[in-house]
């Protein structure tokens, strides 16, 4: 009988290894689950995972290999916009759909001329949308007016989010009093920037960064005695941050795709722990990877074919699909339409659901 | 050839062009660099910007990339090439990181960390192969002759070289400029291969890889650096399925070659020379 | 004014961590004349050993810390014996050592990626990080003061050892010519092992401080690059240079980020490096013994 | 000498550098209290012999023993066993001062007071070194460095002193002094194995001598006999200007 | 006859060491002169001053009537000056032949384009450079070692290679720093012949530093003796040999 081959592009080594490994695990979890149920319409799923070290040239070769040697029907990953953009040309030429997990750059699914790339998809927010969510939350929900941003200048994700946050925040009538940067892979000390932010009198600090940096920044800010400053982050929240920053995290917010305390996700966390004997701490990547797989399963089911062109069409036609973490509908640019922002709050030593937002 | 194999082959050719540039500087001139990814970056950004924003055809854009890298190499070389040994190596890290920082900060031109997308994928196999062949011929010609000898003289003993009339500083700068040209051209082709470039692609890891490949192949051997590129590319590619262990294996291979054959795979020899010797020995026997 | 003081304190504290790393790196450089890029590896070995001893084995900080120092020391010695020694014995080109050390760094980093996962971990606050108030408004943490003191204690001890003892002299002689040092009756293998042990130990101290201050992950060794830059500004192989360079680097990073532009922080740092080297090609304290022609 | 056991004995020593065979089975004996010289053309293998005795280059075959006990193959242990070398080409520690270089020579010794006595003795022998005590060795003139290398080897007060071309680059007056001094040192009980290009003077100083040619001993005997040997005269002594 | 090299009141200090003090002497074109003196007298330093390796503290160096103070090292050869080194400075990573070719190539040009493509004059010129280099090697009797790595030659042979390399520069003035060091008397004799030979053949002016008196006294009609950085005697060898100061400082009083 027919099997469906799905490729997965994960950063198993290099700077993003922590995220990549979790994604690989959750993708495998999803595959095992579907196969245990007899596959998709009787089709067993086979997962081929390749590492790309967090590097474009590696990713390009990995994708070429997935397309040419493994002849996969679809590809999930990577967890970085840069990688998806670099591989977009390949998958679109080969007419094999690719789903970015946390690839938020608009260019992932549209080309320079603003035309949608037919075979590129994403399951996460886009930068403009998420930037707007954060700005909305800071300005309208928290009522802050003086924002500071501290972002990773070497990260496309952080640069994108920062830009769109500032734009929207100013539209909502706020003022950006400090716009500071650091260098992601190397810098671990942010006290200089924080001191400056303290001087600028910001009342909210927006951190469009990854977990490690956010945690370090929060910890160092509290060490500098900046007790009143409120932190708002994007979807970089991860459980391990508590180990680094501990109490400094309390009462901070993240505008996320999903909450770890979401009852819909409880089973996922249990299964993960049972299978890997480890907590799923990088859960945003984990869950998006996991649900990207389920989205794909659904599309294959609807397409009733392992033909990649048909699968792509089914992906594009997705409407009100109930996944584990959200219900998604594709817009014309292959982005999830007006996905709810899940606000997390750090309370009592864990990240908890705070509220759902959707800006006007 | 499958597109996968072709992709690897193209990448290999591009890497080999860059490796020849590094080899010229590190192997033949004795200047150890840990920052040559910067010239790759300059080449690819120039090419990308010229083709995307100014609509210039790819060939002149790639050439311009090489020239920009060369000019920057020249300007950097003038003040810094009097540094010796590890001092230059560490300085080159700094210089490369600075260039990367400028690329990250100069949003209007480079789009910062988010990179430039949608570059024409003009680097097809014939293109990469032709560039490689031309560049390899030039490299082999250059080192076999007066230029090669003067590089080696400056590498082995700069005082004696000066007394033979070589302006050591000038030769070092010339070597860096040509080496930057190679890397710049490779960078342009690279942009045309990946179609998307970001500053973080040209980080220190990339730089050290470029140098490691050259040492791995044999300092002072052009064919060595090509062989080195091939082996390292193959090793990383072959072990893709056992991905977690891939970098570990890469590191181990690097260490093992240094331990077992510190002079690199080819030592100072060229393939031609080895073949000739083999041939001669065979001739003796008969 | 308060900001200035705060930034200076920030800078000194960052500098002191660089110093701990730079001193070990400089020490190895002074004897084998190559930049040991595996130093970052030793650092994470120290960090992880301490982490696992505390968390998995449940030792107290003193036992765990001590174990981590010794463990990293031995790891450094093993690295030297297994990889550098065979190379040293075959060739005098230090470049090969450098490449091997980069290889070792990749190996160590990835061993931890496999064994411990790429995840970020935090050491429990075994070294107090409580805020300490200085000069009124300015704040620092106890850890910063401890790391500054530790850096100076280790440096002072090493400096005394190198200049005042016979073995110190032997180290300096070996630094210049290993073979001839052997001809003087110095057991150079043992000597180098000692040096690597000390370097590994210092790296582990740095690793533990870094893990507590920041976080622990396989790529933490990257920070050694800044420490190398500091050592080069100070003059390779000079221990006081390593410390002064580190403090200068820490200060200029913080002052740039604080008063110029955090976006350009590293640009200023690296320009400082290049300018220092252009003015003084062997760093601030580097010995500039012109070779005699 | 028959019946007496040699202090330093070399048997069947072979050394090669890659494909180049530098020593092809050398036998050599040095008895207690002797000065033995080794002469031979460039590339004959003299320095290789000295370095192989020290364990500084690997011995492929053969044995080297001191007082009947085998000499270690590690150079630092050889020094502790009582043999020290003033190497060809000086090899001083350039970034260390003259005094530090000399103290390095005394590395195997523990007796502080005695070390200072030896140091005074070396300074007496080479007053120039005392003047330059604090100068970096690397900036000394060639001859000064040679003096330093000899002084440094003396500092360990070895049982057997190996000298590889001690007169290289030295002024005639210093050579005379050194040879005189070597005689005194020898009379004080130190055994010396000397490699020299200045064959005539070496032969005049030494008790016995070996002639090395392309890695083999081709002649040996009392120095006086070799000095008178017309073959040796023709090949190694030159007509000289004396 | 004109002076090819005039040293006028040269002084050089190294920290507290007055290595060269008020040294003046001159060399006529075509001379073969010896420079002797005790160790550390400043002989090598004078070579270093002439070739611009060290800057001069005071004084004048005049070559062919032109003052060349503050000369850059790499310009020395353009003025026809070549030298060898007391501590050998060969290109150890190149073969014996390449060492000489590296020196000889300055007399033969081809364009960068030709170098990068091996077209045009490349082949012919390279052959000329190689042939010439072989000739120099033959002169110093090293032709059979042409393809060995320079660093593996025995010490004495390396010295001769240095001479060949210097000759390949086709200098007018050749400075030899202890060319006979490490040679046995027989070889010194051969070197004598070599130096006299090249002196004649290439119409050279040679200044040689040596401690082998049999060499200096036999071949150098003009000898300068230094002590403590200053000239203490100058003249023909017989005179020098008898000079009491030279005897006391350098040769040793009693001559057996
Ligand atoms: N490191 C080396 N690599 C290769 N060959 C070497 C090396 N050292 C010496 N040789 C070769 O070994 C042989 C013996 O050399 P050695 O230096 O012992 O001679 P020597 O008698 O001391 O000569 P000299 O009088 O010039 O000092 C020579 O042929 C020399 O070329
Ligand atoms: N770069 C330097 N720094 C300090 N002192 C130096 C330097 N170069 C030379 N000297 C000193 O200057 C003096 C002259 O040295 P020089 O090398 O000219 O002597 P030399 O006459 O060539 O002696 P030799 O015959 O032993 O080679 C010596 O005392 C030496 O120590
Ligand atoms: Mg010898
Ligand atoms: Mg001299």
Note the pLDDT tens digit of each residue in C109-166. 888 888 887 677 777 766 776 777 766 667 777 777 787 788 788 778 888 888 888 8
pLDDT: which is higher, B233 or A63: A63
**What share of chain E has pLDDT > 90, as a percent?**
23
CATH number for the domain harbouring residue E76:
3.40.50.300
Domain count, chain D: 1
> With a 6 A CB cut-off, is E41 part of the ligand 2 pocket?
yes
User: Quick one: E206 and E223 in the same domain?
Assistant: yes
Closest CA to A258 of A222, A229, A276, A234: A234
Q: Which residue of C has its CA nearest to D155?
A: C184
Between the alpha carbon of residue A112 and those of residues A85, A104, A106, the distances in Å are 11, 16, 10
Closest CA to B111 of B203, B202, B195, B198: B198
> With a 6 A CB cut-off, is E40 part of the ligand 2 pocket?
yes
Mean local confidence (pLDDT), E122-136: 89
Query: Could you say which of B137, B166, B268 has the minimum Cβ distance to residue E74?
Result: B166
Query: Using H for helix, E for strand and C for coil, what is the string for E94-122?
Result: CEHHHHHHHHHHHHCCCCHHHHHHCCCCH
Between the alpha carbon of residue D97 and those of residues A29, D91, D132, D139, the distances in Å are 69, 13, 8, 10
How sure is the predictor about B69, in pLDDT bands with cuts at 50, 70 and 90? very high
Q: What is the pTM of this model?
A: 0.86
A224-264 pLDDT, tens digit each? 888 889 999 988 888 788 888 888 888 899 998 888 888 88
Q: Does A21 touch chain C (CB under 8 A)?
A: yes
How far is residue B85's CA from residue B31's CA, in Å, rounded to a whole number? 7
The answer on pLDDT for C291 being more than 80 is no
B154-174 pLDDT, tens digit each? 988 888 998 898 998 999 999
Q: Which residues of C touch B208 (CB under 8 A)?
A: 102
How far is residue A52's CA from residue A64's CA, in Å, rounded to a whole number? 12
Domain around E159? 91-169
Q: Beta strand pairing status for D191-195 and D35-40?
A: parallel
DSSP summary character for residue D95:
T
How far is residue D153's CA from residue D101's CA, in Å, rounded to a whole number? 10
Q: Does E84 touch chain C (CB under 8 A)?
A: no
User: Quick one: E126 and E192 in the same domain?
Assistant: no
Phi, psi of D90 (to 5 degrees): 70, -60
pLDDT: which is higher, B171 or A58: B171
Interface predicted TM-score (ipTM)? 0.84
Q: C266 and B212 in contact by Cβ < 8 A?
A: no
Asked which of E149, E169, E189 is the last residue of a domain, the reply is: E169
Output the pLDDT for position B25.
Answer: 92
Mean local confidence (pLDDT), E4-16: 87
E15 Cα nearest atom in ligand 2: 4
Instruction: Establish if D114 belongs to a structural domain.
Output: no
Q: Does A53 touch chain C (CB under 8 A)?
A: no
- Residue with the smallest CA separation from ligand 1 atom 24 is D42
Q: A243 and C121 in contact by Cβ < 8 A?
A: yes
Contact status, residue C43 vs residue C217, Cβ threshold 8 Å? no
Contact status, residue C227 vs residue C146, Cβ threshold 8 Å? no
Mean local confidence (pLDDT), E72-80: 86
Asked which of E169, E202, E231 is the last residue of a domain, the reply is: E169
Contact status, residue C16 vs residue C151, Cβ threshold 8 Å? yes
CATH number for the domain harbouring residue D46:
3.40.50.300
User: Quick one: E162 and E175 in the same domain?
Assistant: no
**What share of chain D has pLDDT > 90, as a percent?**
21
How sure is the predictor about C277, in pLDDT bands with cuts at 50, 70 and 90? confident
Touch between chain D and chain E: 3 or more Cβ pairs under 8 Å: yes
Handedness of CA C13, C18, C24, C27 (dihedral sign): negative
pLDDT: which is higher, A275 or C94: A275
Contact status, residue C162 vs residue C171, Cβ threshold 8 Å? yes
User: Quick one: E121 and E66 in the same domain?
Assistant: no
The answer on pLDDT for D36 being more than 90 is yes
Closest CA to A272 of A237, A239, A233, A315: A239
Give the residue carrying structure tokens 């008895």: D31
Domain count, chain E: 2
Tell me the residues surrounding ligand 4 (ion) with CB < 5 Å: D 142; E 44, 86
Instruction: Establish if E85 belongs to a structural domain.
Output: no
User: And the tokens for C229?
Assistant: 């830059």
Q: Which residue among D16, D38, D43 has the greatest number of ligand 1 atoms within 8 angstroms of its CB, and so is best to mutate?
A: D43
Instruction: Establish if E30 belongs to a structural domain.
Output: yes
How far is residue D221's CA from residue D203's CA, in Å, rounded to a whole number? 11
Q: Which residue among E13, E45, E84, E249 has the greatest number of ligand 2 atoms within 8 angstroms of its CB, and so is best to mutate?
A: E45
The answer on pLDDT for B112 being more than 80 is yes
User: Quick one: E18 and E69 in the same domain?
Assistant: yes
User: Quick one: E116 and E191 in the same domain?
Assistant: no
C219-246 pLDDT, tens digit each? 888 888 888 889 889 888 788 888 899 9
Give the residue carrying structure tokens 């084995």: C57
Domain around D200? 8-90+159-237
Helix C224-234, helix C265-279: angle, nearest 10 = 30
Closest CA to A229 of A311, A334, A147: A147
* CA D169 to centroid of ligand 2, rounded, Å: 13
Closest CA to A8 of A70, A95, A89: A70
How far is residue B281's CA from residue A6's CA, in Å, rounded to a whole number? 54
User: Quick one: E120 and E237 in the same domain?
Assistant: no
Contact status, residue A146 vs residue A166, Cβ threshold 8 Å? no
How far is residue D77's CA from residue B45's CA, in Å, rounded to a whole number? 59
How sure is the predictor about B59, in pLDDT bands with cuts at 50, 70 and 90? very high
Task: Indicate which of C2, C9, C10, C18 best probes the interface with A, i.e. most A CBs within 10 Å of its own CB.
Answer: C10
User: Quick one: E76 and E177 in the same domain?
Assistant: yes
The answer on pLDDT for A184 being more than 80 is no
């Amino acid at each position: 009988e027919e099997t469906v081959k799905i490729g997965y592009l994960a950063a198993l080594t290099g700077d993003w290894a922590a995220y990549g490994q979790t994604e690989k695990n959750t993708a495998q979890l999803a595959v095992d689950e579907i196969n245990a149920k007899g596959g998709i319409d009787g089709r067993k799923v086979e997962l081929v995972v390749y590492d790309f070290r967090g590097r474009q040239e590696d990713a390009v070769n990995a994708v070429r290999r997935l397309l040419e040697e493994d002849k996969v029907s679809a590809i999930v990953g990577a967890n970085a916009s840069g990688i998806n953009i670099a591989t977009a040309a390949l998958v679109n030429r080969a007419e094999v759909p690719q789903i970015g997990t946390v690839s938020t750059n608009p260019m992932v699914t549209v080309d320079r001329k603003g035309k949608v790339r037919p075979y590129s998809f994403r399951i996460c927010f886009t930068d403009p949308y998420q930037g707007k969510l954060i700005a909305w939350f800071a300005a309208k929900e928290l009522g802050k007016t003086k924002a500071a941003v501290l972002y990773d200048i070497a990260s496309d994700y952080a640069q994108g989010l920062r830009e769109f946050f500032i734009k929207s925040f100013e539209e909502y009538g706020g003022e950006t009093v400090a716009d500071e940067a650091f260098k992601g892979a190397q810098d671990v000390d942010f006290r200089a920037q924080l001191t400056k932010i303290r001087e600028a009198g910001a009342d909210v600090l927006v951190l469009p960064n990854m977990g490690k940096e956010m945690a370090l920044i929060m910890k160092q800010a509290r060490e500098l005695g900046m007790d009143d400053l409120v932190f708002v982050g994007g979807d970089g929240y991860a459980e391990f941050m508590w180990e680094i920053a501990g109490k400094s995290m309390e009462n901070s917010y993240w505008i996320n795709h999903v909450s770890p305390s979401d009852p819909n996700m409880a089973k996922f966390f249990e299964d993960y722990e049972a299978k890997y004997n480890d907590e799923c701490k990088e859960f945003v990547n984990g869950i998006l990877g996991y649900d990207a797989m389920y989205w794909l399963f659904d599309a294959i089911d609807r397409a009733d074919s392992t033909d990649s062109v048909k699968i792509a069409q089914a992906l594009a036609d997705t409407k009100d699909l109930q996944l584990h973490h959200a219900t998604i509908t594709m817009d014309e640019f292959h982005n999830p339409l007006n996905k709810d922002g899940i606000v997390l709050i750090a309370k009592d030593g864990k990240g908890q659901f705070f509220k759902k937002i959707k800006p006007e | 050839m499958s597109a996968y194999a072709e992709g690897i082959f193209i990448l290999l050719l591009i890497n080999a062009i860059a490796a020849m540039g590094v080899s010229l500087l590190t192997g033949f001139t004795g200047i150890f660099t840990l920052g040559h990814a910067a010239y790759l970056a300059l080449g690819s950004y120039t090419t990308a910007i010229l083709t995307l924003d100014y609509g210039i055809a790819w060939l002149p854009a790639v050439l311009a990339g090489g020239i920009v890298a060369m000019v920057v190499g020249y300007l950097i070389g003038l003040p810094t090439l009097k540094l010796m040994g590890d001092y230059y190596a560490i300085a080159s890290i700094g210089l490369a990181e600075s260039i990367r920082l400028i690329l990250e900060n100069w949003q209007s031109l480079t789009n910062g960390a988010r990179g430039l997308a949608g570059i024409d994928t003009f680097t097809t196999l014939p293109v990469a192969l032709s560039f490689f062949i031309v560049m390899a011929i030039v490299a082999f010609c250059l080192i076999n002759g007066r230029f090669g000898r003067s590089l080696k003289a400056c590498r082995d003993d700069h005082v004696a070289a000066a007394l033979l009339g070589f302006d050591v500083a000038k030769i070092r700068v010339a070597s860096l400029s040509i080496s930057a040209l190679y890397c710049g051209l490779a960078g342009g082709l690279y942009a045309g291969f990946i179609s998307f470039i970001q500053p973080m692609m040209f980080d220190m890891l990339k730089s050290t890889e470029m140098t490691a490949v050259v040492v791995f192949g044999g300092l002072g051997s052009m064919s060595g650096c090509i062989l080195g590129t091939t082996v390292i590319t193959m090793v990383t590619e072959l072990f893709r399925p056992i991905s977690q262990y891939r970098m570990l294996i890469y590191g181990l291979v690097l260490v093992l070659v240094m331990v077992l054959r510190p002079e690199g795979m080819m030592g100072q020899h060229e393939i031609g020379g080895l073949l000739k010797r083999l041939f001669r020995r065979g001739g003796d026997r008969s | 004014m308060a900001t200035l003081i705060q930034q200076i304190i920030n800078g000194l504290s960052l500098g002191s961590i660089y110093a701990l790393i730079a001193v070990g790196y400089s020490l190895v450089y002074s004897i084998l004349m190559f930049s040991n890029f595996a130093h970052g590896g030793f650092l994470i070995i120290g960090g992880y050993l301490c982490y696992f001893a505390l968390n998995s084995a449940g030792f107290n900080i003193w036992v765990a810390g001590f174990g981590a120092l010794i463990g990293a020391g031995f790891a450094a010695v093993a690295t030297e014996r297994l990889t550098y020694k065979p190379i040293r014995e075959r060739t005098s080109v230090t470049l090969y050592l450098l490449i091997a050390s980069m290889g070792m760094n990749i190996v160590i980093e990835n061993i931890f990626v496999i064994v411990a996962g790429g995840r970020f971990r935090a050491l429990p606050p075994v070294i107090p990080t409580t805020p300490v108030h200085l000069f009124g408004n300015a704040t620092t943490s106890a850890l910063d003061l401890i790391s500054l003191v530790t850096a100076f204690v280790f440096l002072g001890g090493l400096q005394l050892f190198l200049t005042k003892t016979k073995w110190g002299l032997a180290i300096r002689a070996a630094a210049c010519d290993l073979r001839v040092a052997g001809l003087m009756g110095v057991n150079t293998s043992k000597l180098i092992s000692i040096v690597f042990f000390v370097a590994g130990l210092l790296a582990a101290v740095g690793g533990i401080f870094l893990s507590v201050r920041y976080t622990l992950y396989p790529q933490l060794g990257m920070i050694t690059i800044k420490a190398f830059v500091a050592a080069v500004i100070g003059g390779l192989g000079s221990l006081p240079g390593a410390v002064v360079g580190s403090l200068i680097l820490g200060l200029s990073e913080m002052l740039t980020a604080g008063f110029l532009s955090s976006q350009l922080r590293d640009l200023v740092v690296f320009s400082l490096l290049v300018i220092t080297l252009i003015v003084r090609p062997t760093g601030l304290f580097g010995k500039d013994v012109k070779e005699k022609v | 000498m028959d019946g007496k056991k040699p202090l330093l004995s070399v048997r069947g020593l072979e050394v090669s550098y890659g494909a180049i065979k530098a020593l092809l089975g050398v036998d050599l004996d040095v008895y207690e209290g002797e000065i033995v010289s080794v002469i031979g053309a460039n590339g004959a293998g003299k320095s290789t012999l000295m370095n192989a005795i020290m364990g500084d280059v690997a011995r492929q075959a053969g044995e080297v023993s001191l007082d009947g006990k085998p000499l270690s193959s590690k150079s630092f242990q050889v020094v502790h066993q009582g043999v020290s070398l003033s190497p060809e080409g000086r090899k001083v520690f350039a970034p260390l001062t003259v005094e530090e270089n000399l103290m390095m020579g005394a590395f195997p010794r523990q007796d502080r007071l005695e070390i200072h006595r030896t140091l005074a003795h070396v300074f007496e022998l080479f007053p120039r070194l005392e003047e330059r005590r604090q100068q970096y060795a690397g900036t000394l003139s060639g001859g000064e460095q040679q003096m330093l290398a000899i002084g440094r080897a003396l500092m360990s007060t070895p049982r057997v002193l190996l000298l590889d071309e001690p007169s290289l680059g030295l002024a005639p007056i210093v050579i005379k002094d050194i040879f005189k001094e070597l005689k005194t040192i020898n009379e004080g009980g130190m055994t010396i194995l000397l490699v020299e290009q200045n064959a005539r003077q070496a032969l005049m100083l030494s008790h016995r001598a070996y002639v090395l040619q392309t890695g083999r001993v081709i002649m040996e005997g009392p120095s006086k006999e070799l000095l008178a040997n017309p073959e040796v005269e023709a090949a190694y002594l030159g007509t000289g200007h004396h | 006859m004109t002076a090819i090299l005039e040293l006028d009141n040269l002084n050089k200090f190294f920290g507290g060491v007055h290595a060269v003090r008020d040294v003046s002497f001159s060399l006529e074109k075509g001379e073969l002169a010896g420079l002797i003196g005790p160790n550390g007298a400043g002989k090598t330093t004078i070579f270093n001053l002439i070739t611009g390796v060290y800057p001069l503290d005071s004084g004048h160096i005049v070559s062919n009537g032109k003052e060349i103070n503050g000369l850059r090292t790499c310009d020395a050869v353009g003025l026809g000056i070549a030298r060898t080194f007391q501590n050998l400075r060969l290109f150890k990573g190149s073969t014996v032949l390449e060492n000489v070719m590296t020196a000889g190539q300055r007399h033969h040009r081809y364009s960068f384009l030709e170098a990068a493509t091996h077209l045009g004059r490349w082949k012919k010129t390279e052959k000329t450079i190689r042939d010439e280099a072989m000739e120099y090697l033959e002169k110093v009797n090293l032709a059979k070692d042409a393809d060995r790595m320079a660093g593996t030659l025995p010490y004495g042979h390396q010295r001769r290679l240095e001479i060949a390399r210097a000759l390949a520069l086709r200098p007018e003035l050749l400075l030899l720093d202890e060319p006979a060091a490490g040679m046995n008397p027989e070889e010194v004799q051969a070197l004598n012949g070599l130096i006299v030979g090249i002196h004649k053949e290439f119409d050279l002016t040679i200044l040689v530093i040596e401690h082998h008196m049999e060499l200096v006294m036999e071949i150098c009609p003009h000898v300068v003796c230094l002590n403590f950085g200053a000239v203490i005697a100058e003249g023909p060898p017989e005179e020098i040999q008898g000079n009491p100061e030279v005897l006391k400082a350098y040769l040793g009083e009693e001559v057996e």
